[in-house]
A and B are shown apart, each in its own frame.
Chain A
Amino acid sequence: MKTILEYQEKFRKGEISPLDLLSSCLERIDPSLNAYITVTEELARKGLEKSTEGKLKGIPVAIKDNINIKGVPTTCASNVLKGFIPPYSATVIERIEKSGGIFTGKTNLDEFGMGSSTERSYYGPSKNPFDPTKVPGGSSGGSAVAVAMGSAVISLGSDTGGSVRQPASYCGLVGLKPTYGRVSRYGLVAFGSSLDQIGIIGRNAEDVGIMLEVIAGYDPKDSTSSEKEVENYSDLSKPFKNIKIGLPEEYFKQINTEVHSSVMKIKKALEKEGISFKSVSLPTTDYIIPTYQVISYAEASSNLARYDGVRYGLWANGENFRDTIRKARDEGFLPEVKRRILVGTFVLSSEAIAEYYERADLIRRLITREFNEVFKEVDCLLTPATPTPAFPIGERTDDPIRMHVPDRLTAGANLSGIPAVVAPAGMIGKLPIGYQLIGKHFDEKKLLSIVRLVEENVPFKGFLNGF
């Protein structure tokens, strides 16, 4: 598959039309991989008719099914949103439309983004295109599979604890979680509001940069979005000078040895380009998972209190008002979401809030302080993206703790609101594996420039179907 700019060059030269590209993308949808909950072929064809000139002119984009497109069902992979058709679009959707992008469909996820494998979906698990017996990662697994199998050039996901980056690692793609506030969350269904950020999954740093230019920037409808200027994120031709990258020792513990050596290969390639490395320490790393669990579960229990079937979604006809709501929620949510709502309710209860939620909030500040200290010495951090390649479907579904294991490497960036990008480091057997760069607030361009440098020096050869 080509880059966005290469496709657009072909459009200009008349070698292929946007319709040709859309048709070939739609043909590549493999239903057995279950990447899409809703394919929006008609919407895409209509979109082509009115596609305006812009940075995404004629480019097929897949959207995670927790981001609203007006008139298309948003399910969040949950039965509780049965029949819900949003009457408005998310800000990111409006911006993509204005830039000429078209939508191939809404992609599968773990219900409300709660999972690391896209198995916990009311619509069934998505499968890894490199090996269908393995998970594609999650929770934005559908968005990763959609791009990996070639049904979309680029996709949007959401990242609360690693949900864009971990599937990018398992599917050989570039996944960016921008700085908290860089991209408007208006129209993204909330899971953990202080952690959620819309992210991008693409095949290369330049494409991801183009999409970031389109969707980033202040939105009056999201008071946490930033007014900071939107940079030219796709111009990655001039690398930054005198870059120093930190290697946090705690991030290299408890990981597969082949993952370790893959990341070291990336380090070597960057050293050849004149980038220097320094070993650093982030001692609170071991507390990232429990801290993330407490905060995200607490926020989820509050955010998901709105689902009662009265204004939208699953209506359960109970004997009385309370019964109606409780029934809808019991029938509507899958077990993992119930678990998180219940634990979230517990950590916010008067008897437990000081011991759990308030303490986790303080630890979050410690984690942030450690990142800030380290960033006084280095520009960004290089780490593995995941401890192992994709794991077998079914291996962790019933274990509420084990499913969180990959979050140890990714959720720190969410707790601190800093940007992080995952990109391919190579293959382990037939499965791809990624490396991760974690940067300072609003340093997306620097991170993408380094990914670009890696792409030039260690090109990833694992793309499927010769793409």
Chain B
Amino acid sequence: MKEIDIKHLSRLANIDLEKDEEKILQKDLDKIIKHIKKIQEVNVDSTPSDSHLHAVNLLLREDKTERTLPVKEVLSNTQNPVKNHFTVNRIVNENDS
């Protein structure tokens, strides 16, 4: 079984886990990976990967300009709008990894 490095995964997934949580999730993840490993039993050598799965083709809408949401509505759900912008913490010159 591949070793699950939960610290690495949680960094990739941008989830800041508490220590206790990390312990529990590590156990769960090992259990889940062991379970999904079952798919290794299936012989997929002759399965074409280019066949279409769904009965629909991608249909793009007509390429013409349409009205979009007004800025005010787009910003209506953010906590800290400044003028017409979303705001986040300062990123430049910051070692946040």
One of A84, A284, A335, A351 near B77 (C-beta < 8 A): A84
Check: A23 CB closer than 8 A to any chain B CB: no
Q: A84-B77, A321-B96, A324-B88 are in contact. Are A305 and B14 (CB under 8 A)?
A: yes
**Main secondary structure on B side of the interface with A:** loop
Interface residues of B in 1-41 (CB under 8 A from A): 2, 4, 6, 9-10, 12-18, 21, 24-25, 28-29, 31-33, 35-41
Whether the pair A335, B15 counts as a contact (CB closer than 8 A) is no
- A343-358 to B contact mask, C-beta < 8 Å, 1/0: 1011101011001101
Count chain B residues whose beta carbon lies closer than 8 angstroms to a beta carbon of A: 58
Residues of B within 8 A of A218 (CB): 59
| Contacting pair A365 B29 (CB below 8 A) | no
Q: Is the CB of B53 within 8 A of A194?
A: yes
Decide if A293 touches B32 in the complex (CB within 8 Å). Answer: yes
B25 to chain A, nearest CB (A): 6
Minimum Cβ distance to chain A for residue B42 (Å): 5
Is B76 touching A85 in the complex (CB atoms < 8 A)?
Answer: yes
A343/B15 in contact, CB under 8 A: no
In contact, A338 and B25 (Cβ under 8 angstroms): yes
Q: How far is the CA of A447 from the CA of B80 in the complex (A)?
A: 50
Q: A223-B59, A339-B28, A441-B55 are in contact. Are A87 and B73 (CB under 8 A)?
A: yes
What residue in chain A is nearest B4 (Cβ atoms)?
A: A346
Residue from B32, B39, B40 within 8 A of A339 (CB atoms): B32
- CB atoms of B55 and A294 under 8 A apart: no
Does A181 count as interface, using CB distance less than 8 angstroms? yes
On whether the beta carbons of A312 and B77 are closer than 8 Å, the reply is yes
A220 to B14, CA, bound (A): 33
B74 touches A325 (CB 8 A): no
Given A294-B36, A311-B86, A346 contacting B29 (CB threshold 8 A): yes
Instruction: Check A363/B35 contact, CB under 8 A, given A220-B61, A321-B91, A342-B10.
Output: no
Chain A interface residue count, Cβ-Cβ cutoff 8 angstroms? 77
B35–A290 CB distance below 8 A: yes
Q: Kindly list chain B residues whose C-beta atoms are within 8 Å of the C-beta of A358.
A: 49
A–B pairs, 16, beta carbons within 8 Å: A218-B59, A227-B59, A287-B42, A290-B36, A291-B39, A315-B79, A318-B89, A321-B88, A329-B15, A338-B15, A339-B29, A342-B15, A359-B39, A366-B47, A369-B51, A441-B55
- B-contacting residues of A (Cβ < 8 Å)? 83-85, 87-88, 179-181, 194, 218, 220-221, 223-227, 284, 286-287, 290-291, 293-294, 301, 305, 308-313, 315, 318-327, 329-330, 333, 335, 338-339, 341-343, 345-347, 349, 351-352, 355-356, 358-366, 368-369, 400-401, 416-417, 441-442
Other A-B contacts than A320-B96, A366-B47, 13 sampled, CB-CB below 8 A, are A87-B69, A287-B38, A311-B86, A321-B89, A325-B14, A329-B14, A330-B15, A341-B13, A342-B6, A343-B36, A347-B36, A363-B39, A401-B35
Which residues on B are within 8 Å of A, measured CB to CB?
A: 2, 4, 6, 9-10, 12-18, 21, 24-25, 28-29, 31-33, 35-42, 44, 47-49, 51, 53-56, 58-62, 69, 73-74, 76-80, 86, 88-91, 94, 96-97
